[in-house]
Chains A and B, each alone.
Chain A
Amino acid sequence: MDEFQLSEETAFVVDDITTIIKDTVQTTIGSSAYQQNRINQWTSSVVETSLNQLSKLGKPFKYIVTCIILQKNGAGLHTASSCFWDNTMDRSCTVRWENKTTYCIVCVFGLAV
């Protein structure tokens, strides 16, 4: 019965990924107010740290991590993604995070090797 199901070691576990991402964003930005001169460093830090943590999971996936950091201004933003992949094995997840002055949207795509 388990033949076609993915085992724990090779599955994309959404909960683990989201925990990693949330912790990363919380550590990087936390409750800091939006600062234009730090945004460069924040974006790089979020994607780099997330990717390092994801690779440490040791799963057979290629990862794409995208981060959008946006100042809260009342302006609107819409994001959409469309994927041509193997539906049984590949997954994506999106984490939207906000504090008083900043929005942060992180998308993770995991593609099975």
Chain B
Amino acid sequence: MSDLAKEKAARLLKKRGSVSSLGSHDVRAKETGGKIKDSISTVSYIDEPGHHDDNPRPAVQMENTFQLAPHRRFPVLTVNDILKDVLASYLQEEKYEAELCRQMTKTISEVIKARVKDLMVPRYKIIVLISIGQLSDQNMRIGSRCLWDSSNDTFSSHSFKNSSLFAVANVYAVYFECTPRPSGTPVHRAAQRSQSQRSPFEPPLHTAHTAAAERTTGTSWWLRGSRCC
């Protein structure tokens, strides 16, 4: 069952070009020793763009369309159902194994992203975050907070548990106010355009500050797994 699922996911991935954490060579990990010797931290971030694309597209100029609110809002309940469906179908029968779950997180995040994209909600940027962990006697807490425009932006969340593992999936949808236009303009004209477009960054920033509200999602887990003797 899981092999079929993996093949299906692999086929989905080949069809859609997208940046994801699958390409581990693109993600840089920086080891930094903590200043205090009893804590360590590591950092990883997505590499610079252009290294991923096979067909690099020219950078687009953003122009205002003066449309501040979305015509169609993000369907939170539909996405809840998608999350429920995907997590159950991929993880219902699975037992926690390090290698399997590592691959599964990447696969599931891509599958969820593909299905949310299929909803074709215009002008929304999508972020899918999934965590899969082993059920054991540990305690954990997952929380998130967002600085955004709460009238347009929203999130959807679902958690799943079976006898050996748990999974938490979050989908954040952020409305994008500007639509990109393809840049066919010569370089010097683009320079002038980008100069004049720099100032519009300032007003939206203030708007974002005054309109932004914070929503916290918290999932608290008390994990009591069955011990295997």
Contacts and interface: CB of A to CB of B under 8 A. Distances in A.
B46 A76 contact: no
Nearest to A71: B138
B209 interface: yes
A79 B130 contact: yes
Interface residues of B, number: 82
A77 B134 contact: yes
B136 A54 contact: no
Of B41, B49, B105, the most chain A CB neighbours within 10 A belong to: B41
B184 to A, nearest CB: 14
A11 B117 CA distance: 26
Contact of B41 (A98, A109, A111): A98
Interface SS majority for chain A: mixed
B214 to A, nearest CB: 7
A80 to B, nearest CB: 4
Contacts of A80: 20-21, 105-106, 108-109, 129-130
Contacts of B218: 40, 43-44
21 contacts: A4-B190, A26-B36, A36-B139, A44-B216, A47-B144, A65-B144, A67-B143, A68-B142, A75-B223, A79-B129, A79-B132, A80-B109, A81-B127, A81-B128, A82-B20, A83-B125, A83-B127, A84-B18, A90-B125, A96-B44, A113-B177
B4 interface: no
B12 to A, nearest CB: 12
Contacts of B208: 60, 62, 113
B77 interface: no
B147 A62 contact: yes
Contacts of A60: 201, 204-205, 208
B226 interface: no
Contacts of B136: 73-75
B128 A83 contact: yes
Contacts of B106: 80, 82
A47 B216 contact: yes
A39 B139 contact: yes
Contacts of B20: 80-83
Given A81-B21, A111-B127, 12 more contacts: A31-B39, A46-B143, A55-B147, A60-B204, A65-B146, A69-B142, A73-B136, A76-B96, A78-B133, A82-B127, A92-B46, A113-B208
A11 to B, nearest CB: 11
A78 B132 contact: yes
Interface in B121-173: 125-149, 153, 170, 172
Nearest to A103: B140
Nearest to B193: A3
Contact of A96 (B19, B41, B108, B128): B41
Nearest to A48: B145
B83 interface: no
Contact of A113 (B46, B129, B205): B205
A104 to B, nearest CB: 9
B131 A78 contact: yes
B140 A91 contact: no
Interface string A48-73: 10010011001110111111111111
A112 B46 CA distance: 16
